[in-house]
Structure 1
């Protein structure tokens, strides 16, 4: 595309001569006064403005000032008579690129305009490349930030990072499976970060935390009067996440009726608020997570098989921390930095004994439990390092087998859990629950969070503890 040149001069012979000299190489517009020049500047993206300093009753200096205030100002060349050189120098000071004196040498003017147009073209190209580079840089930063959430060097974690990078830009529904506390929500965040969807458009719903009626309203919203205490219309999480990502945590806890509505939302990309039959289109990428075996639940009729298949387009399997031992210290160091900064403490290393304790513990609560343990160590240590005694006491409950170092006697906890006539996994689980309750001074909500399970699950397991042995 040819550069656009605007010639402004109140003398017709000058305008005609310049047009003739420039018309073959450029798209040329001419104006005889300030009014005509303004019209062209308003309607055309002028690249080079060639104007006389004197425009009859008007001033070329005024035109220069106006042109330089445009969003994309043109390159300005001033024309002046010999007696007005001082004024031309003032024009240069105010932003003009060059000036030529009359009578004009048309070959010189053509060369000067060509240089100005080429400079303008290069300037536009530089702006384009700068914009592209900035966009690529931001994209790389977002990608790195997304993957930085998934910490580890174990083969399983590396594979998960590769899978997340591949599937994140798609619309495919993702099911993240794994024990509580393994980092399923972090993977969901990474999928959203790398999806290209708006950063603030990730909505999270814990499906186990709400009753069936409240969950339905939470997901799909409700109309005024839809049920008792529905005093006004409420927008649900699907609508809030429109254009973004909806993360359904503990999706295996959803009741049968809500499963039907969720299936329709996934199949038809439409929802209906509670109390309304009006379909609402939504563009939502659903990521679900569960610590349960949905395939097995579907086979047993406890979860809709068709919904399972809709959720299970792509599956990400999060390994328990005990199966990725090489990641424990990497995660611990990351949490050390996080909590040192959060609590205004200096960054302290873990002692060899503390590191060994972390390596030997079985981490039934997985990454969430490790995070809690490191936070405890950061706030409890007033020394140069974080020692074993600064870590939670429940870390004394090591893995039941293969963790006692050769030549060292087993801990009391290990003796309690050692194989014998009464040994079973239930005993290990109950001992861990008791330890978590002691650590949290009996606070069941905090204990459940520490163990990486819901409060409802903890209450069920506590009932098992209080039941006579063998009742199950």
Structure 2
């Protein structure tokens, strides 16, 4: 029996005008089993591209007869299939962002770290013919499923076929294959983490880890250790070496939820880690290269935070290379029936009971709710309605009973008659202010169905700030720990 034919090596074109660097890149790629061609100018590179197809193109940003971006733009115009990696000078963050926005698969910063160089090139041709060194491994256990079906399943978890949701799904599918950082924007409870997970599942990193981080839930004193790792003895309680989120997400996607809650000092360190793709663990003397795609999310207006000095402008532009906006539920009410069916199915499965049917009257009643907490509030409402329902069909009265009580205006908010005398000065100012603050917080919590994330958004607070105030003022929240603070799944 004859041996199967050897797989064709992946084809890579290297474009750089410095002979020593060009030779270094060629030798590195040849050792990995790739077939390599090289060019020193834009004209020479384009000649190679006209003659045949490649799997990947690696180009310097500055060339004697133009910019590497010109080559990338020509390739995009002709809809060529090669993935383009752009090399930029150290610290040229603007060039890197410009290249990613123009459609580059990824970028490398000079002087290039060869380990990172090999990793990025391998990622660029991930779905193509594996290099010679990888062929032996290909004959072993079956690789994880990276078929389109895996990504489609993740997209299907974003329930709804309304026009706004279809735009979100289409955008995720388009940008998933790039390495460009993505900023997911949307109100609390809209499903930003689901969008990030779909982005990961549709990408070439789908078989790598997806690490989700709630930036607003980490104590400020532990941020650096949590993100970058720590060595034994680097701080009180560090009894062993530990990896950080960047190391845990190696080869996959790092999802930074509520990125707007990060303090400015940590924003600076995060920016450097993203730009240089290297992190230094707390207590370590050396930096380690990391290979992660960063996807972040926020319900805040980061542009306004930048203008107000609360968020670094350079980090904002680095994170917001590609933006995905998840619409609020009020803008996609056509999706309510499908959402309710999916949520009720999961609620019933968790409770070990058959899913109750939905009548048109119940859908109409749900549609009349403001649902300011979006899908998360809808899920809570259905949870309570199922608990109060006594039949196989969800009743209108169960939905009415499940709705949070209408807020009661505290006496302090009752308007005084024009001729009423102004109130006297309080004898205990702090007690008076605490009472007013408590009334406002209780009202916000009632109006959002005790969803602390939504209440914080209403009041312009971070989740950490509202938690602190609730604890300080001893406000009772039904059910103890708020399940709404966790990741949304719908």
TM-score normalised according to structure 2 size: 0.57
Rounded to whole Å, the distance in 2 between the matches of 1:144 and 1:451 is 33
Q: 1:277 to 1:220 in 2, by over 3 A?
A: same
- Give the alignment partner of residue 212 of structure 1, picking from 220, 227, 230: 220
* Larger proportion of helix: 1
> Contact 1:223–1:232 at 8 Å: present in 2 too?
yes
Look up the SS of the partner of 2:296 in the other structure: strand
What corresponds to 2:445 in structure 1?
A: 433
- Give the alignment partner of residue 166 of structure 1, picking from 174, 177, 180: 174
> Contact 2:188–2:454 at 8 Å: present in 1 too?
no
Rounded to whole Å, the distance in 2 between the matches of 1:391 and 1:354 is 7
* Length, aligned pairs only: 309
- Give the alignment partner of residue 226 of structure 1, picking from 226, 234, 247: 234
What corresponds to 1:203 in structure 2?
A: 211
Q: 1:250 to 1:169 in 2, by over 3 A?
A: same
Q: Which has the larger radius of gyration?
A: 1
Give, in angstroms, the shift of residue 294 of structure 1: 0.9
> Contact 1:174–1:314 at 8 Å: present in 2 too?
yes
What corresponds to 1:284 in structure 2?
A: 292
> Contact 1:272–1:280 at 8 Å: present in 2 too?
yes
Look up the SS of the partner of 2:238 in the other structure: coil
Give, in angstroms, the shift of residue 153 of structure 1: 1.9
Look up the SS of the partner of 1:391 in the other structure: helix
Q: 1:298 to 1:137 in 2, by over 3 A?
A: closer
> Contact 1:394–1:435 at 8 Å: present in 2 too?
no
> Contact 1:168–1:191 at 8 Å: present in 2 too?
yes
Look up the SS of the partner of 2:183 in the other structure: strand
Rounded to whole Å, the distance in 2 between the matches of 1:329 and 1:303 is 39
Give, in angstroms, the shift of residue 261 of structure 1: 1.3
Give, in angstroms, the shift of residue 391 of structure 1: 2.9
Give, in angstroms, the shift of residue 379 of structure 1: 3.3
Look up the SS of the partner of 2:241 in the other structure: coil
Q: 1:258 to 1:293 in 2, by over 3 A?
A: same
Look up the SS of the partner of 1:289 in the other structure: strand
> Contact 1:357–1:395 at 8 Å: present in 2 too?
no
- Give the alignment partner of residue 331 of structure 1, picking from 314, 318, 339: 339
- Give the alignment partner of residue 147 of structure 1, picking from 155, 162, 171: 155
What corresponds to 1:275 in structure 2?
A: 283
Rounded to whole Å, the distance in 2 between the matches of 1:137 and 1:370 is 33
The answer to whether the aligner puts 1:244 opposite 2:248 as a matched pair is no
The answer to whether the aligner puts 1:189 opposite 2:197 as a matched pair is yes
Give, in angstroms, the shift of residue 292 of structure 1: 0.6
Give, in angstroms, the shift of residue 192 of structure 1: 0.7
What corresponds to 2:452 in structure 1?
A: 448
Q: How does 1:16-415 map onto structure 2 within 5 Å?
A: 139-199=147-207, 201-391=209-399, 393=401, 395=403
Rounded to whole Å, the distance in 2 between the matches of 1:230 and 1:464 is 29
What corresponds to 1:42 in structure 2?
A: none
Give, in angstroms, the shift of residue 375 of structure 1: 2.2
Give, in angstroms, the shift of residue 458 of structure 1: 3.4
Which runs of 5 or more residues in structure 2 are unaligned?
A: 4-138, 417-438, 475-490
Q: CA offsets, 1:127-180, max 9 Å, x none?
A: xxxx9xx99986132021121121112211110100000111111100011111
> Contact 1:343–1:379 at 8 Å: present in 2 too?
no
Q: 1:225 to 1:136 in 2, by over 3 A?
A: closer
Rounded to whole Å, the distance in 2 between the matches of 1:360 and 1:430 is 23
> Contact 1:180–1:452 at 8 Å: present in 2 too?
no
**Higher RCO (Cα < 8 Å, 6 or more apart):** 2
Q: 1:269 to 1:146 in 2, by over 3 A?
A: same
- Superposition RMSD on alpha carbons, in Å? 3.5
